[in-house]
Amino acid sequence: MTSRFSASSYNWTSQWDYDPSYKTDLEDNLQEQFYQADIENFTTVLQAMKTVDGSEIADVFTPSRDEILQAGVRPEEFITSCSFDGEACDYTDFHQWQNGVYGNCFTFNSVFYNASEDFVDLSGRERMKHVKVTTHYGARYGLRLMLSPDLEEYIPAVTPGHGVRVSVHHPRTVPFPEDTGLNVPINSRTSIRVTMNDIARVKEPHGNCTSDDEWNKNYVGAYTSEGCVNVCLEKRIRDRCHCIRMLNTILTNGDDDDMVRCNPTNSTQGEIRFTKMVV
């Protein structure tokens, strides 16, 4: 399972016991699940693919959040060097979370850094004071990283490319690297310059735009159109198919402990996902 990086501010401090034999057994189990998929439905997915490279086949491979956590790249191996405005940092300054497309992701400088499950400030405004800022510009300042993707664990059928996926976003928003992000190839040096446009839309009675206050009644972080669309789709899938598509527990409030990942080879669970995929 390959992993990707999302540049925002999360700090990850949790540790787990690591047993090398478990990772090997888990990878064998995942491969067994992948190749034992229902042949009839699996063939339907293949016939419906629109891309020549067959990239949609990754949707058939649906490991759980825990399986991705255990089988994916470890942060201390992936983040080999880190600094922010000349001050050293390391992998413990990143929040680790799981993404259905890119596996283990690591986020820096977010309001949700080291946040507990009973996070009270749903908007994240109070935690903005902990976000790191820079008064300089240029490649020598800001966040500087040396990353080491684990190419030995790269599975072409699951991820059609290898390298790093980067998503730069506001500290109070939840990232969607599969929708908004850029690819950084291996064996390269890349600089990213960011310019932010802050758009404030008025709410009722002057308009019908959703405010952060309304959004935070049910969801965490600042409102974004990407978050709204993904949450709406996720809710419909869970209500109709009783399975989960989105693995990021921050946006979904972790309300999925009793649900399995949706699998398009399952005629019931894959109905909505598969329909969306082939449209």
pLDDT of 130 reads 78
Tens of pLDDT, residues 212-261:
777 777 777 788 888 888 888 888 888 888 888 888 777 666 566 677 88
Residue at 219 is within a domain: no
| pLDDT-based confidence at residue 87 (cuts at 50, 70, 90) | very high
pLDDT tier, 79 (very low <50, low <70, confident <90, very high otherwise): very high
Q: Is the pTM of this model over 0.75?
A: no
Indicate the pLDDT class of residue 123, thresholds 50, 70 and 90. low
Q: Where are the alpha helices (DSSP H) in 148-267?
A: 212-215, 225-241, 249-252
Establish if 99 belongs to a structural domain: yes
Note whether residue 113 is domain-resident: yes
Task: Tell the residue number behind the tokens 């932010």, with chain if given.
Answer: 196
53 or 253: which leads in pLDDT: 253
pLDDT (mean) for 26-51: 49
Where helices occur in 183-266 by DSSP H, the ranges are 212-215, 225-241, 249-252
Q: Is 68 helix (H, G, I), strand (E, B) or coil?
A: helix
208 in any annotated domain: no
In a domain, 209, yes or no: no
**Phi-psi bin for 131: left (phi > 0), alpha (psi -120 to 50), beta?**
beta
DSSP state of 37: S
pLDDT at position 192: 87
E-strand ranges in 11-152 read 79-84, 87-89, 94-99, 103-108, 143-147
Q: Is residue 156 part of a domain?
A: yes
> Is 264 exposed, middle or buried, given 0-12, 13-18 or 19+ CB atoms closer than 10 A?
buried
User: Mean pLDDT of all residues in the chain?
Assistant: 72
What pairs with residue 184 in β-bridges? 164
| Number of domains into which the chain is organized | 1
Q: Show the domain range for 90.
A: 4-192
C-alpha to C-alpha distance for 254 and 243, rounded to whole angstroms: 13
Residue 64's nearest CA partner among 90, 29, 94 is: 29
Contacts of 140 (CB under 8 A, 6+ apart): none
Give 154-176 pLDDT, tens digit per residue. 666 556 677 899 999 988 888 99
Residue 271 domain-assigned (yes or no): no
Do residues 4 and 99 touch, judged by C-beta distance below 8 A? Answer: yes
Does a structural domain hold residue 73?
yes
pLDDT at site 165: 92
Tokens at 258, concatenated: 């009793």
- Find the range with the poorest average confidence among 43-57, 61-75, 162-176, 211-225: 43-57
Q: How confident is the model at residue 144 (pLDDT cuts 50, 70, 90)?
A: very high
Banded pLDDT at 138 (limits 50, 70, 90): confident
Task: Return the DSSP state at 119.
Answer: -
249 burial level (CB within 10 Å; 0-12, 13-18, 19+):
middle
Arithmetic mean of pLDDT, 177-189: 89
